[in-house]
């Protein structure tokens, strides 16, 4: 399949299953206006995350890496009225935009944004475990630490998901430290006996694992 066909199929999925509303379009536009890096999930990936959260009846979610809040909105909309999403962001600029995004999308009451180093925030969240879903879209160098935290703090049957599992194809031939870190992470997922794992070949790849024990 060539790149053009793949792009057209992604467009097809988005139009059919993941049409954005005004709030989601605003978030994307605000991220671009603010010169944030264009590394967020695509609409069809956000829809997939929302679907995954629904399949496990998620009520408590942790997201590592907020950016403008686009993926958090998809996830928050999967939660019941009393559900909670804890999203972690190091950049105060990103956090400010994300808070505006949550208000615009009408999900601010379901989301708690923790500013600071993710590993520090995760230590604080340990007291609120167990969680149903952990979504990672952050620095690749700490992926193994995030995986270890998820193993300790997910309920049995809970889910770990990580964006960029393919690294734009470079996972097959790593070119930088982030590529190599993702390669190590994918291998660790595959070999971890407490997890049942795979990679969903959508977009840049979504690594997904269910905690078995």
CA distance 106 to 104: 6
Tell me the whole-structure pTM to 2 decimals: 0.95
**pLDDT value at residue 1:** 67
**pLDDT value at residue 7:** 83
pLDDT tens digits for range 83-110: 999 999 999 999 999 999 999 999 999 9
> How many domains in the chain?
1
Confidence of residue 10 (pLDDT cuts 50, 70, 90): confident
Supply the range of the domain harboring residue 96: 3-211
Statement: residue 4 has pLDDT above 80? no
Residue 153, domain CATH: 3.40.50.150
Statement: residue 73 has pLDDT above 70? yes
């Amino acid at each position: 399949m060539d790149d053009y066909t793949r792009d057209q199929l992604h467009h097809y999925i988005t139009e059919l299953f993941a049409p954005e509303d005004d709030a989601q379009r605003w978030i994307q536009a605000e991220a671009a206006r603010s010169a944030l890096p264009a590394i967020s999930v695509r609409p069809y990936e956000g829809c997939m995350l929302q679907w995954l959260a629904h399949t496990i009846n998620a009520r408590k979610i942790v997201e590592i890496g907020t950016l403008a809040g686009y993926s958090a909105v998809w996830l928050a909309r999967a939660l019941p009225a009393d559900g909670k999403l804890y999203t972690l962001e190091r950049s105060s600029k990103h956090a400010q935009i994300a808070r505006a995004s949550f208000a615009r999308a009408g999900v601010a009451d379901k989301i708690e944004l923790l500013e600071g180093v993710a590993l520090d925030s995760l230590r604080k969240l340990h007291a609120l475990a167990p969680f149903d879903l952990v979504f990672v879209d952050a620095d690749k160098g700490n992926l193994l630490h995030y995986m270890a935290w998820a193993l300790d703090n997910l309920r049995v049957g809970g889910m770990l998901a990580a964006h960029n599992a393919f690294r734009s194809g470079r996972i097959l031939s790593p070119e930088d430290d982030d590529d190599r870190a993702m390669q190590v992470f994918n291998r660790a997922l595959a070999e971890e006996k407490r997890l049942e794992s795979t990679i969903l070949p959508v977009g840049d790849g979504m690594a997904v694992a269910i905690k078995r024990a």
